[in-house]
Amino acid sequence: DQQVKQNSPSLSVQEGRISILNCDYTNSMFDYFLWYKKYPAEGPTFLISISSIKDKNEDGRFTVFLNKSAKHLSLHIVPSQPGDSAVYFCAASESNFGNEKLTFGTGTRLTIIP
């Protein structure tokens, strides 16, 4: 069963506007969440993370929001730039329980339209 879900396979956004990527999870033991960006034929690049003790973490143009009651997190990119076009993966772990495995979603392909 898919414990981390990214229900939108693709998203297109105008350059300069806000991109919002969504992720849902079912495992209530997850306490650490990450977003990765991936270009074709390359390894994923870590973008930003958030611990379950927070509901928001910001790093430059990237902000991650966590809603624990809804088991939902989102990544906001503002303003969106052409170089942001990539596949974005959401991942989660049970770090406080000594389980360091990351569980990944299936990814969302973001296309920034110039």
Partner 1 sequence: DGGITQSPKYLFRKEGQNVTLSCEQNLNHDAMYWYRQDPGQGLRLIYYSQIVNDFQKGDIAEGYSVSREKKESFPLTVTSAQKNPTAFYLCATGRGDGGTQYFGPGTRLLVL
Residue 95 binds to partner 1 (criterion: CB under 8 A)? yes
Per-residue x/- track, 50-89, partner 1 (CB under 8 A): ---------------------------------------x
| 3-state SS, one letter per residue, for 52-113 | CCCCEEEECCEEEEEECCCCEEEEEECCCCHHHCEEEEEEEEEHHHCEEEEEECCCEEEEEE
Is the CB of residue 83 less than 8 Å from the CB of residue 25? Answer: no
Using the contact rule CB under 8 A, the part of the chain among 12-20, 53-61, 64-72, 100-108 near partner 1 is: 100-108
- Name residue, tokens 């870590």: 46
Residue 26 binds to partner 1 (criterion: CB under 8 A)? no
Using the contact rule CB under 8 A, the part of the chain among 13-21, 31-39, 60-68, 73-81 near partner 1 is: 31-39
